[in-house]
Structure 1
């Protein structure tokens, strides 16, 4: 006789529990557990297993995967050169950020370059999608629209018509399989639909792009297992009050996860920003303390970012430490280095550090810029707008060399910077340039003296 097994499953993270819980002990979400009943029937006749023998890696046949360029340079950069055939890509972002707009443009470009594409719309009707396509100038007879939420309709159509160059599913939370009792957007539905789409993508060698929603915390909505199933996870960031958007790769089996793409939202669609560096620093004020430019390395590219700091007298007994766009713990560590090595007292000071433009920088080469901005604000001394700094700072106050220094200096030179302060380890390997004043420093005491002089 078949045995019935009952348990509770968190719809956010997939955590299983014997008893119902109001708050998930794994992910912390409230009221996310749903009762699941499974029938465990043991079969007497088990098919004979087929031996799958291991092969030397030199004898494994390489897959003939092809990359398709979207002709949107910033998107191709983040993807690692284009969309790979047979891959499953998940694009997440807040409502109204421009996910559907970007992918509709991609589907139109694909239909012009590689053949007909299919756009499955589970949230909008076909006339609504056409209205957006008219505004974006994306009307193309080879761009097909299917307004449907039943996955079986999509699967049956693709098995009969597998000549598409790209398939878009907007969104994965709306598509469901009727034979499953769970509601659309449920953990069971999302996992099963994604698994079937993954099998379709690999079998038909057609790239499939899934659009997903995000939670109010900015995380992709749905189970974490969804991110593990797909080949690439892209995050579209920004807000409705600014025209600029950033695309990040959180997972990429076919490329780097360090690349970012910068886009601009316009009336006729989303366009790639050719020079992101000028965007991030073009509104920097003159003669204001607590501001410095540094060349940050994001993947294979260099982007100039403005590091700002504001140091003020603490309003409460415990001084505040705020960091936006940079690791909070890294800022605290650098403040401790300044207190220990230079004797600067921040015990009664609020310290706020910010990276303008909404970008987040993780690399340690930002250390010297944070120190420059903090000391500049602390002493209320403005830094030269044509001066940039770069370097990693150790716990003993030493300034360590950074990678790809020539590439960073080249980007600064293109945007008219005249003075650059770099680690001494990098300076000794740089060729003389009559247009640039390059100074090397070995520790933060030497650096502060060079930047602020006697102030």
Structure 2
């Protein structure tokens, strides 16, 4: 990520300031005069205004907040991880697949998700998981402040849809990261050893992705469970087995 020493770099630009926790703000460049795209910077806000901060301060605050959350199981809500301009983002994606609506189906997709990405994932899920979504009402949103353009969120979108459609409860300590292609294949996520350590420190117990590099996970196998999913057609069975395993463990 490029370091910004002052907010002068954002002049003549449209930006958004999002405050995930306390006085640490994530500044996202939405549009600029020189057509730059995708810049993200971290600032600390106090009585003197905005002061640039390192990206790891934002990551540390997010990790601490996740660590303090109680484990719970919910239908249609999954934890996800992706990078935005080099900054690891941990978030929660919530999706509700409703019954057939009398007035015609509506898909309410939050501004943080690109509609074309969600629709593409929905089409792939329909094809490989025996689901019909186009006659359903759907509401989906990212809980944390983020505008994701990263393909690593696609597996999480699929998991949230399948969880809601089939009423499968998923732990918030299970993390989804990976992309999809039109054959249903799951592509590897941009996860390195440093990010995995942050996930473990935050309390995540399970990572679901595809083809994680051996050197990334070989020293962490005793602390977190890894599931390599090669194709989206196995997603329902995987979610069901994790839910059943949790029921047995919790008595």
Fold match (TM-score > 0.5): yes
Asked if 2 retains the 8 angstrom alpha-carbon contact of 1:427 and 1:439, the reply is no
Provide the aligned C-alpha RMSD in A. Answer: 3.3
Q: Which residue pairs with 1:387 in the alignment?
A: 174
Q: Which residue pairs with 2:5 in the alignment?
A: 82
Residues 1:378 and 2:165 aligned together: yes
Deviations 1:294-348 (A, max 9, x none): 1110122212111111111132343111211111111111111111122111132
Match of 2:62 among 277, 291, 298: 277
Summarize the Cα distance change of 1:82–1:395 in structure 2 as closer, same or farther, 3 Å threshold.
same
Match of 1:261 among 31, 42, 67: 42
Give structure 2 stretches of 5+ with no counterpart: 245-251
Q: How many residues in Structure 1 have an aligned counterpart in Structure 2?
A: 230
**Mapping for residues 180-191 of structure 1, pairs under 5 Å:** none
Q: Which residue pairs with 2:87 in the alignment?
A: 301
Cα distance in 2 between the residues matched to 1:300 and 1:235? 18
Cα distance in 2 between the residues matched to 1:368 and 1:244? 29
Cα distance in 1 between the residues matched to 2:86 and 2:165? 34
Residues 1:438 and 2:219 aligned together: no
Summarize the Cα distance change of 1:338–1:279 in structure 2 as closer, same or farther, 3 Å threshold.
same
Summarize the Cα distance change of 1:311–1:294 in structure 2 as closer, same or farther, 3 Å threshold.
same
Residues 1:322 and 2:245 aligned together: no
Secondary structure of the residue aligned to 2:113 is: coil
Q: CA shift at 1:269, angstroms?
A: 5.8
Cα distance in 1 between the residues matched to 2:203 and 2:69? 15
Q: CA shift at 1:279, angstroms?
A: 7.5
Asked if 2 retains the 8 angstrom alpha-carbon contact of 1:89 and 1:234, the reply is no
Asked if 2 retains the 8 angstrom alpha-carbon contact of 1:292 and 1:369, the reply is yes
Q: CA shift at 1:237, angstroms?
A: 2.7
Larger Rg: 1
Q: Which residue pairs with 2:236 in the alignment?
A: 448
Q: Which residue pairs with 1:290 in the alignment?
A: 76
Secondary structure of the residue aligned to 2:228 is: strand
Q: CA shift at 1:363, angstroms?
A: 0.2
Secondary structure of the residue aligned to 1:294 is: strand
Asked if 2 retains the 8 angstrom alpha-carbon contact of 1:262 and 1:276, the reply is no
Match of 2:193 among 406, 419, 423: 406
Residues 1:426 and 2:215 aligned together: no
Asked if 1 retains the 8 angstrom alpha-carbon contact of 2:129 and 2:236, the reply is no
Q: Which residue pairs with 2:123 in the alignment?
A: 336
Q: CA shift at 1:426, angstroms?
A: 2.1
Q: Which residue pairs with 1:169 in the alignment?
A: none
Cα distance in 2 between the residues matched to 1:316 and 1:244? 44
Match of 2:17 among 230, 237, 253: 237
Secondary structure of the residue aligned to 1:310 is: strand
Match of 1:367 among 138, 154, 158: 154
Which has a greater percent of strand? 2
Give structure 1 stretches of 5+ with no counterpart: 1-76, 92-226, 228-232
Q: Which residue pairs with 2:247 in the alignment?
A: none
Cα distance in 2 between the residues matched to 1:260 and 1:311? 35
Match of 1:247 among 27, 38, 41: 27
Secondary structure of the residue aligned to 1:358 is: coil
Match of 2:137 among 346, 350, 369: 350
Q: TM-score, normalised by structure 2?
A: 0.76
Asked if 1 retains the 8 angstrom alpha-carbon contact of 2:24 and 2:42, the reply is no
Summarize the Cα distance change of 1:431–1:280 in structure 2 as closer, same or farther, 3 Å threshold.
closer
Summarize the Cα distance change of 1:234–1:278 in structure 2 as closer, same or farther, 3 Å threshold.
farther
Cα distance in 2 between the residues matched to 1:326 and 1:286? 24
Cα distance in 2 between the residues matched to 1:283 and 1:270? 29
Q: CA shift at 1:82, angstroms?
A: 1.7
Cα distance in 1 between the residues matched to 2:23 and 2:99? 35
Structure of greater relative contact order (alpha carbons < 8 Å, 6+ residues apart): 2
Asked if 1 retains the 8 angstrom alpha-carbon contact of 2:26 and 2:40, the reply is no
